[in-house]
Amino acid sequence: MTLNNKTGVFNLVLYGHLPYLRPGYDTAKESWLFEALTSSYLPLIRALKRLAWDNVPFSLSLVLSPTLISLLNNHELQEKYHQYLKESLLLTEGNPAPAGGDSWGQSRANFHYNHLNEALKQFKLCNGNIFNEFIALRNSGHLEFVASAATTAFMPLFQFHEYALRPQLDIAVKQHEQLLGEKPQGFWLPHCGYYNGLEKLLEEYDIKYFYTASHALLYANEAPLSGTYRPVMVKGSNVAAFSRDRASTNEIWKNESKLAYLKYNNENEQLLDDTEKVLALVKEQATIFSQRRLNQFKAAKALMGSKSPLITTVLDLEFLGQWGAAGSYFLEEVVLALAKADDIICATAKNYLQQFHNLQQLEITSSSWGEEDSYNQFWLDKKNAWLLPHLYKMIERMHDIAARFSDATSIKKHMLNQAAREVLLAMNSDLPLMLKAQVNEELAMEELSRHFDNFYQIYKSICSNKINIDWLANDNKEYNFFDEFIDYRRFI
Q: Say which range, 60-74, 100-114, 146-160, 384-398, has the weakest mean pLDDT.
A: 100-114
Q: How confident is the model at residue 264 (pLDDT cuts 50, 70, 90)?
A: very low
In a domain, 419, yes or no: yes
Question: Longest C-alpha distance within the chain, in Å?
Answer: 75
Host domain of residue 124: 8-362
- Of the candidates 164, 155, 330, which has an alpha carbon nearest to the alpha carbon of residue 252? 330
In a domain, 369, yes or no: no
Count: domains in the chain: 2
Q: Are residues 397 and 305 in the same domain?
A: no
Q: In whole angstroms, what is the distance from residue 294 CA to residue 341 CA?
A: 8
In a domain, 377, yes or no: no
Q: How confident is the model at residue 267 (pLDDT cuts 50, 70, 90)?
A: very low
Q: Which amino acid is at 246?
A: R
* Cβ burial 2-34 (10 Å sphere, 16+ → b, else e): ebeebbbbbbbbbbbbbbbbebeebeebbeebb
45 close to 59: Cβ distance less than 8 angstroms: no
Q: What is the CATH number of the domain that holds 444?
A: 1.20.1430.10
pLDDT tens digits along 89-123:
988 775 555 555 555 556 667 777 888 899 999 99
- Alpha helices (runs of H) in 305-440, residue ranges in sequence order: 317-321, 325-340, 349-355, 387-404, 410-426, 430-437
Q: What average pLDDT does this structure show over 18-23?
A: 87
Q: Are residues 195 and 236 in the same domain?
A: yes
In a domain, 108, yes or no: yes
Q: What is the pLDDT of residue 489?
A: 97
In a domain, 375, yes or no: no
The total of other beta-carbon atoms located within 10 Å of residue 304's CB is: 17
Q: Are residues 343 and 408 in the same domain?
A: no
Q: How confident is the model at residue 307 (pLDDT cuts 50, 70, 90)?
A: confident
User: H-helix or E-strand containing 385?
Assistant: none
Q: Are residues 25 and 89 in the same domain?
A: yes
Q: What is the pLDDT of residue 115?
A: 83
The total of other beta-carbon atoms located within 10 Å of residue 368's CB is: 27
Q: Are residues 66 and 105 in the same domain?
A: yes
Mean pLDDT, rounded, of the chain: 89
74 close to 27: Cβ distance less than 8 angstroms: no
Q: Are residues 417 and 315 in the same domain?
A: no
pLDDT tens digits along 383-440:
999 999 999 999 999 999 999 999 999 889 999 999 999 999 999 999 999 999 898 9
Q: In whole angstroms, what is the distance from residue 74 CA to residue 369 CA?
A: 30
- Of the candidates 370, 489, 396, 452, which has an alpha carbon nearest to the alpha carbon of residue 160? 396
CB-count burial class (<10 Å; 0-12, 13-18, 19+) for 283: middle
**Is the pLDDT assigned to residue 448 strictly greater than 70?**
yes
- Alpha helices (runs of H) in 257-342, residue ranges in sequence order: 258-264, 275-304, 317-321, 325-340
Q: Are residues 343 and 404 in the same domain?
A: no
Boundary (domain end) residue, out of 362, 395, 420: 362
Q: What average pLDDT does this structure show over 448-467?
A: 92
Q: Are residues 276 and 391 in the same domain?
A: no
Provide the terminal-to-terminal Cα distance of the chain, rounded to the nearest Å: 44
Q: Are residues 126 and 186 in the same domain?
A: yes
- Of the candidates 444, 459, 368, 346, which has an alpha carbon nearest to the alpha carbon of residue 28? 444
- Of the candidates 69, 72, 167, which has an alpha carbon nearest to the alpha carbon of residue 427? 167
The β-bridge partners of 311 are 10
CA distances to 41, 63, 119, 134, 143 from 46, in Å: 9, 18, 9, 11, 14
DSSP string covering 72-120, please? Answer: HT-HHHHHHHHHHHHHHHHHHHHSPPPTTT-HHHHHHHHHHHHHHHHHH
Q: What angle, rounded to 10 degrees, do the helices at 42-53 and 130-139 form?
A: 30
384 close to 436: Cβ distance less than 8 angstroms: yes
